[in-house]
Chains A and B, each alone.
Chain A
Amino acid sequence: MENFLQYTILGLVTGGVFGIAAAGLVVTYTTSGIFNFAHGAIAMLAAFAYWQVRFDWGWPAPLALLAVLGIAAPVLGALLYGVVMRGLRGTSEVTRIVVPVSVMLGFLALATWIWDPTPPTPRLFLLFFGADKTVSIAGVNITWHELLALVLAAVIALALRFFFFRTRNGVAMRAVVDDPDLLELNAGRPERLAMLSWALGAFLAALAGILITPIQGTAMSATALTLLVIDAFAAAMFGRLRSLPRTFLGALVLGLAGSYVIGYFPADRWTWTGNFRVSLPMIALFVVLLFLPQDRLRGTTILRTRERFRLPSVRSAAVAGLALVGVMFLLREILAPTAVNSLAFSMTAAIIALSLVLLTGYAGEINLAVLSFGAIGAIIVHHYGVSGSGGGARTTLWGYMLAAVVCAVVGALVALPSLRLRGLYLALSTLAFGVFVSNMVLREITVRKLPLLHTEFSIFPSGNLTVPRPKIGPLDLAAMPTFLMAVTVLFSVIGVGLVALRHSSYGRRLTALKDSPAASATLGQSPVALKLSVFMLSAAIAGVGGALMTSQLGSANLDRYDIFLSLSLLMLTVVGGIGYVSGALFGGILFGVAFVALQNTFDKLGADFPDAEGFFEFLARFTTVLPALMGVSIGRNPTGAVEQIVVEFGALRRAKPVVVAGCAAVAVAYLLARNDGISNWWFVVIVGVVIVAMPLTAKRLAPPAAAAAPADGQGDVPLELVGVARPFEPADRDMLDRELGLPVGGR
C-alpha cells in the first residue's frame, strides 16, 4: 500500500510537470495555429541555461530563476514568434510543420555546441531545497521539490483558467483562435497576442524543463530532455490541442500510468519494461488519435499558397536522370574511395528523400519518421533477404521487395488512425511511431524464444544490424563504385517514375487532394483511400531506401535511424524543394556529405592556419547549426532552393559563351583531377566557384529580360494589377494609356 502511494505521488508529480509543458503547447497552438515542435527544445535550453547560471556560476536560486524563467524564456518565445513563426501565415501546413522542426533541430545543435555533450565531470542538477528536505504524507516521504512541482502544476492550471476567462488579454487570446480577422476589426491586436502567447508558452516549457530535470535524476542530455517534453504532445492531444482542463487530465493519466508501469511490471522478466515506459506517451498519443472525432473537411483558406512547384515533363526528367547517372560515373572515376563512400550514402538518403517528395511534395501529407521505416526495411532484409555467409553474403532482390511490402503494410497501420484527421495529426502519429521504433523495436537486441513458433528470434540482434551489399542476378554490387552507380540508377528510375506518376490521373488526384480536400471530396474522391495508398507507396520507398542505406554502411546501430535524423532529412529535402525530385537529391546530398565535408574543411583549415584556428573552429561548429538555419529560412522561401537555382541559371540561356567557358573550366579541372594534378578538394572548390560564377557573369553580360517585359505589353498581369507586385513605372502609365485608348504621355 505504501508502495502504491509512493508510485501514485511520483506519477502525479511527473504528470503535473507534463501538464505544465502541455499547457504551454496548447496556448501557443491555439493562438497562432502553429504546433510548436520546438517546445521540448525550449524546455531543454532552459534547463541547461538554469544549470549554467545556478550550478556552474553559482548564482543564488531566485536570481537564476528570474534570469531564466522571468527574462530569457519569455524573450526567446516572443522572438521566436516575431522573427520566425509570424512569417508562416499563408504557407502550407507542411511549411508550418517543418519550420518549427528546424527550430528544434537548431536549438539542439546550439545546446550541443555550447554545452559539451560529454563533459569531463557529469553536470549536477540538484533538487530545489535539496534532497534532504522532505515531508511525510501517510508514511511516504516526498521531497519539497516534488511538492513544489505538484503545487505549481495546480496553481498554473488555475491561473490559466483565470487568465483565459477573466482577463482582457486572455479573452482576446481565445478570440484569436476563433477569428483573428474579426478580432482585428474589433480593435484587438492578434499579432501582439500571438507574441504574448508564445512568450507564455516558452515560459511554461522552461518551467517544466527546470522542474523535471532533477526529478529524472540522470545525466543531463540535450536529446533526452527534448524528447521528454515531446511527451507533453500526447497530453495536449487528450485536450484535442484546445482544452486546457483535459490536457492537464491527460498529463496526470500519463504520469500515473508511467509510474505504475515502472512499479508493477516485472522488469527482470519483461526486459522491455523500461523501454515501454519511455514509449508510453507515444502509444497513448496513438490511442487518443483513434478516438478523436473526424475533422470537418476544410477548403484551402488561402487562395494562393506561396509554394509553387513547376512540373517537369517526363522526357526532361528522364534526360536529367541520365545526366545524373553520367555525372556520377565521371565523378566516381576521380573521387577518393572515402568520397565515393559518402556519395553512395548520400544517394541512398536521396532515395529515402524521394519517398518524402511523393508523400509531402505531391500529396501534402507528412512523415516525420522516414528513417524508422528505413529501419524496418533494413530489419526485413537482414532477416529474410540474405543469401550466403561470411564475406560472400549478399542481399537478394527478393529481400528488398519483401521490405517494400512490409513497410507498406506497417505504413498503413501507422497512418490509418489519423488519415481522417488533419495533416498535423498524421505527422504526430509518425513521430509517435518513430519514437516507438527507436525506443522499443530497435532496442529488442536480446534473443527471445517466440511462443508457439518455438523459434528464437531477435529483431535487432546485439544492437547492430548487418546488411550485406545486394546481388541482383549476375550483378554483384559488393564493390562501392558499382554500388554507387546502382543506387544512382535506382534514384533516377524512381525519380522519373515519380514525375510520370505526377503526370498520371493518380498524380492529378493527389494534387487535387493536397490543394483542396473539400473540393476533391465533393467530386467523389474518398480522402482516406487516396491518402492511404500514397502513404503506403511512400513507406515502401523509404523502406527500400533504408535497407540500401544500411547495406551501404555494411552494418548500423540504432543511432542511424534516430528520429532527429529523420527530421533532418525531411527538413533538408524541404530546403531543396519538396515538390521536386531534384529536391530529394539536394536533400540527400546535404544530409549525407555536404555539412560533414564543410566541417572537415574548416577543421582542416584550422589545422593549416593555427593563427586563425579559433575562427575556423567557430565556423566548423557553426556548420552544425547551419542546416537548421536553412530549415528556418523555408518560411521565407517555401518553394525551396532548387527552384531558385533553376531561376538563377535561367540567365544562362541567353549567354552561350558563358556556358561554354564554364563547361571548359570544369572539363579542365576534371582532367587535372583525373591525372592527379589536383586533389578532390580543389576539384570541388573549382567546380563550386564555376557554378556560382556562371549565372552571375551571364547576368552581367546580358541584362535581365524582365525589365523589358512591362514595355512590350502587360505580360500576364491584368491591367488593374499593373504595378502592384512591383513599383509602378512611367512605362506602365504609357502602357495603360495605350490600352485605354488615351493619348500616350498626354496629361
Chain B
Amino acid sequence: MALLEARDVTVRFGGKAALDQTSIDVAPGRITGLIGPNGAGKTTLFNVVCGLLTPQGGRVVLDGTDVTRAPPHRRARLGLARTFQRLELFTSLTVRDNIRVGGDIRNRWSTRRADSTDEAERIIELTGLGSFADREVSEIPTGRARVVELARALMTRPSVLLLDEPAAGQTERETEEFGALLRRLAADGLAVCLVEHDMTLVMDVCETINVLDYGRTIAAGPPTQVRNDPAVMDAYLGTPEGVG
C-alpha cells in the first residue's frame, strides 16, 4: 500500500511536456529510486508532489488524501518533506538554527509538540553534523549542506521523504554513511523517494527504481531488472550502435 501516489501527472512548460502522464508509488519502509538523464523531469515531479508546481493533469494522493490542489504547507502537515537539488537552506541562519527552525515550524501545526532545541540536537547527532552545527550554512561544503537539508526535513517528523540528489557533492565515504542512514530511516517506517545520479548508491539502497526519460516512465522494478532493461540503457547511453 503506497503512502504517496502520483497518478498520470502531466506538466507542460509552454509547448514542451516536462512530464507526460507519469506515475509513481512510494511505500512506507522502503526506498524508491527515481532516476533518469538530466531534464527527464525528476525534479519537476518532486515539485508537483510537494505542491510547488500545479500539474495540468493527473493527481497526487498522500496517505489517502487527494492533495493535487493543496498548497505546499498543507502537504507538509500531512507528513511530506523534501530536500532540494538546488540548495534551499536559510542562509541567514547557522546550521543548527536551520535544523531547529524545522521543529519551530512543526510546533506551530503539530499537536505533538517538542522542544525544537533538544530535537535538533538529536537530529544533528543522528546525521553526524555535530562539528558543523555552529557554522554558517554558506561556509560548509555542498555535500554537508545536503545533509543539513535532510536533517531539517527530518525535524518535521515526516512519513514521506523526497530526496533530490542528496549525494551530489558528497565524498565516497560520506555517501556510504548516507546510504546507511537512509536504510535506517526506511527501517523505521519512513517512505523515501530518492532522485540520484550516483548509481552505486541507488542500486545499493533502493528496493524499487523508476526510470524517467523525457517525462515518461520507461521502466520500473527492482534494481537488477532495471539495470538490464534495454530502454534504460538506451536512455542513459544512447543506442548500442550509436555509441562508438
Interface residues, chain A, with chain B CB atoms under 8 Å away: 296-297, 299-300, 303-305, 308-309, 505-506, 508-509, 511-512, 514-516, 518-527, 716, 718
Contact = CB atoms under 8 A, between A and B. Distances in A.
B88 A519 contact: yes
Contacts of A512: 90, 93, 101, 105
A734 B89 CA distance: 35
Interface string B100-134: 11101111110000001000000000000000000
Interface string B34-61: 0000000000000000111100000000
B76 interface: yes
Given A516-B90, A524-B156, A505 B107 contact: yes
A522 B89 contact: no
B184 interface: no
Contact of A524 (B53, B76, B88): B76
Contacts of A718: 141
Contacts of B237: none
B91 interface: yes
B52 A523 contact: no
B200 interface: no
10 contacts: A300-B88, A303-B87, A518-B88, A519-B152, A522-B75, A523-B76, A523-B101, A523-B155, A524-B73, A527-B73
B77 A524 contact: yes
Contacts, number: 106
Interface string B132-174: 0000001101000000000011011000000000000000000
Q: How large is the interface on B (under 10, 10 to 19, 20 to 34, 35 or more residues)?
A: 35 or more
Given A521-B76, A522-B81, A527-B73, A508 B52 contact: no
Contacts of B216: none
Interface string B66-99: 0000011101110011101011111111000100
Contacts of B138: 303-304
Contacts of B108: 509, 524-525
B104 A522 contact: no
A203 B35 CA distance: 51
Contact of B90 (A519, A527, A716): A519
Nearest to B98: A512
A524 B79 CA distance: 9
Contacts of B152: 519, 523
B118 to A, nearest CB: 13
B89 A519 contact: yes
Nearest to B82: A522
Contacts of B53: 296
A296 to B, nearest CB: 7
Contact of A511 (B75, B76, B101): B101
Contacts of A309: 92
A522 B92 contact: no
B91 A524 contact: no
A511 B73 contact: no
Contacts of A304: 91, 138
Contacts of B97: 508, 511
A357 B34 CA distance: 44
B104 A509 contact: yes
A508 B139 CA distance: 19
A403 B107 CA distance: 32
B100 to A, nearest CB: 7
Given A296-B52, A509-B108, A522-B75, 12 more contacts: A299-B86, A299-B88, A303-B91, A508-B93, A512-B93, A514-B92, A519-B88, A519-B89, A519-B152, A521-B52, A522-B76, A524-B106
Contact of B91 (A297, A305, A521): A305
B73 A515 contact: no
A508 B82 contact: no
A523 B88 contact: no
Contacts of B101: 505, 508-509, 511-512, 523
Contacts of A506: 104
A634 to B, nearest CB: 18
Contact of A520 (B51, B80, B81, B105): B105
A506 B92 CA distance: 15
Nearest to B100: A508
A684 B139 CA distance: 42
Given A519-B84, A521-B71, A521-B76, A505 B91 contact: no
A516 B76 contact: no
A522 B106 contact: no
A527 B76 CA distance: 13
A716 B51 CA distance: 37
A297 B72 CA distance: 9
Contacts of A516: 88-90
Contacts of A526: 71, 73
Contacts of A525: 73, 76, 105, 108
Nearest to B53: A296
Contacts of B76: 521-525
A675 B71 CA distance: 67
A300 B86 CA distance: 9
A512 B137 CA distance: 13
A515 B139 contact: no
Nearest to A309: B92
Given A299-B84, A515-B93, A521 B72 contact: yes
A522 B50 contact: yes
Contact of B81 (A299, A509, A523): A523
Given A300-B91, A509-B104, A512-B90, A521 B84 contact: no
A506 B105 CA distance: 9
A297 to B, nearest CB: 5
Given A305-B91, A511-B90, A524 B109 contact: yes
B139 A716 contact: yes
Contacts of B153: 522-523
Task: List the 3 closest pairs (A to B, CB-CB), nearest first.
Answer: A524-B76, A505-B104, A519-B88
Contacts of A524: 73, 76-77, 105-106, 108-109, 156
Contact of A523 (B86, B92, B156): B156
A511 B116 CA distance: 16
A519 B109 CA distance: 16
Nearest to A520: B105
A26 to B, nearest CB: 20
A324 B38 CA distance: 57
Contacts of A527: 73
A523 B102 contact: yes
Nearest to A523: B105
A466 to B, nearest CB: 43
Contacts of A508: 93, 97, 100-101, 104
